[in-house]
Homo-oligomer: A and B are copies of this chain.
Amino acid sequence: MIAKEGITSSAAARSSQLAPYRSTIIDHWVLGRIQAFVKSAPIRFVLWDGFELSPRDGPPVATLIFKERAALYGWMWDPELNFGETYMAGLVEVEGSLLELLEAIYQSFTRPHRPWWLWQGSNDTRAARENVHHHYDIGNDFYRLWLDDEMVYTCAYFPTPEASLEEAQIAKLDLVCRKLHLQPGERVIEAGCGWGSLALHMARRYGVSVRAFNISSEQIDYARDRAAREGLADRVEFVQDDYRYVEGQCDAFVSVGMLEHVGAADYPTLGRVIDRTLSMNGRGLLHFIGRDQPAPLSPWIRKRIFPGAYAPTLPEVFNRVLEPYSFSVLDVHNLRWHYAKTLEHWGQRFETASRQVLSMFDEQFVRAWRLYLIGSQASFSTGSLQLFQVVFARGNTAATPWTRVG
């Protein structure tokens, strides 16, 4: 649920009319600073009284309208946070393509600045539960409006760009299974199982038994219902618990879209869990949103969408999860274009269902989620975010397959 704090105002209600006061020379200077910050982005900036700055080169891809002075100064103060805050509050409006506007902004940062010091807080069990509850427990009915039939809320795999979202999510589930070389009768542990689609797919199509962990109560309830309905409850056990308390032994350890919520400070804990549970010839797969250089997620995303989340670089994961236990990296696959395409589908479905979403929540919620979905699409399409699938095994395993899955 989107918290009701920060810049909220009633601007959304009066989004069609402009503020009655004139912009000053100081306002124009501030707007110039904002334009300079994204200087190569072809964007037209407009203030509440019609004052405008055109892009230095070429026609604009979109127009960005500040509807109140507070929004303008919010951007000056903390652009990364207040872009999202002012957009969701309706204090800023975009004419033209929001996607192209965001892509242009991301592309204008050609070399991301590396923070000198990156604070990576620890998510203890309670914080993890609260963070997950914040996002994943806002209602299965809401997610059903715009996810695929299988309710898969992670990057899909499009065999061709024209594949449907339904096809691409099934293809992703299958890609994961094939990369793990699952054999009938093997034991799988899944850390962070969402609504259970991967666990059920593995049991159904590959004949394995699965223990799948999740701390979201809404998701676990949904997954257990599905297992019972499909007659798979004897082979797929959904456990409502934290990944830290995973016990037992497995031949394959898989985690799709959970590492982002673990937080870098707890990667060694995850490594220890994998080492404790994985059999001698076991294989593992981690699927996660990552980066080319260390950087925190946008402060707006951390405030409104994913508290406690972090998108790591490959070395951060390798050094802290795999290397201490001498796990051997067999395969890394970057699927960032597939996530941009997945988010395009989600965004379109979300827009189609936006009136229903509005009736379930409010205008701010709709605008926040629109920005989150389209902003994420722009992050993946411009390479600001990556999507990595990493396959690994124990370094001295004898069971490494001869060729890999394409």
Tell me whether A140 is interfacial, beta carbon within 8 Å: no
A323 CA to B292 CA, complexed, in Å: 6
CB of A34 to closest CB in B, whole Å: 22
With CB as the reference atom, state the residue of chain B lying closest to A327. Answer: B292
Residues 381-406 of A, flagged 1 when their CB comes within 8 A of B and 0 if not, give: 01110101000001111001011111
- Contacts A315-B318, A332-B332, A383-B395 known; 16 new A-B pairs at CB < 8 A: A158-B402, A161-B402, A292-B322, A292-B326, A292-B395, A318-B318, A328-B383, A329-B334, A330-B334, A331-B334, A336-B400, A337-B400, A382-B396, A383-B397, A404-B406, A405-B406
A403 CA to B161 CA, complexed, in Å: 10
With CB as the reference atom, state the residue of chain B lying closest to A159. Answer: B403
CB of A87 to closest CB in B, whole Å: 23
A112 CA to B325 CA, complexed, in Å: 10
Could you say which residues of chain B place their CB within 8 Å of the CB of A319?
315
Tell me whether A314 is interfacial, beta carbon within 8 Å: yes
Q: How many copies altogether?
A: 2
Tell me whether A240 is interfacial, beta carbon within 8 Å: no
Tell me whether A126 is interfacial, beta carbon within 8 Å: no
Tell me whether A313 is interfacial, beta carbon within 8 Å: yes
Tell me whether A229 is interfacial, beta carbon within 8 Å: no
A283 CA to B227 CA, complexed, in Å: 45
Residues of A within 8 A of B (CB): 107, 110-112, 158-161, 292-293, 313-315, 318-319, 322-323, 326-334, 336-337, 382-384, 386, 388, 394-397, 400, 402-406
CB of A162 to closest CB in B, whole Å: 11
CB of A353 to closest CB in B, whole Å: 28
A202 CA to B332 CA, complexed, in Å: 25
Contact between A396 and B313, CB atoms less than 8 A apart: no
With CB as the reference atom, state the residue of chain B lying closest to A393. Answer: B383
A107 CA to B326 CA, complexed, in Å: 13
Contact between B326 and A396, CB atoms less than 8 A apart: no
Could you say which residues of chain B place their CB within 8 Å of the CB of A160?
402
Contact between B333 and A331, CB atoms less than 8 A apart: yes
Residue of A158, A160, A293 with most chain B CB atoms under a 10 A cut-off: A293
With CB as the reference atom, state the residue of chain B lying closest to A405. Answer: B406
Given known contacts A319-B315, A402-B161, A293 and B383 CB-to-CB distance under 8 angstroms? no
From B293, B327, B328, B395, A326 is in contact (CB under 8 Å) with B293
The 6 closest A-B pairs by CB, nearest first: A406-B406, A332-B332, A315-B315, A383-B395, A292-B395, A383-B396
Contact between B329 and A396, CB atoms less than 8 A apart: no
With CB as the reference atom, state the residue of chain B lying closest to A394. Answer: B383
CB of A157 to closest CB in B, whole Å: 9
Could you say which residues of chain B place their CB within 8 Å of the CB of A332?
329, 331-332
Question: Can you list 23 A-B pairs with a CB-CB distance of less than 8 A?
Answer: A107-B396, A110-B396, A112-B326, A161-B402, A292-B323, A292-B395, A293-B326, A313-B318, A314-B318, A315-B318, A315-B323, A328-B334, A328-B383, A329-B334, A329-B386, A330-B334, A331-B333, A334-B400, A337-B400, A383-B397, A384-B395, A404-B406, A405-B406
Could you say which residues of chain B place their CB within 8 Å of the CB of A293?
323, 326
With CB as the reference atom, state the residue of chain B lying closest to A390. Answer: B332
CB of A9 to closest CB in B, whole Å: 35
A53 CA to B384 CA, complexed, in Å: 61
Could you say which residues of chain B place their CB within 8 Å of the CB of A110?
396
CB of A139 to closest CB in B, whole Å: 34
From B329, B336, B382, B397, A314 is in contact (CB under 8 Å) with B329
A127 CA to B212 CA, complexed, in Å: 54
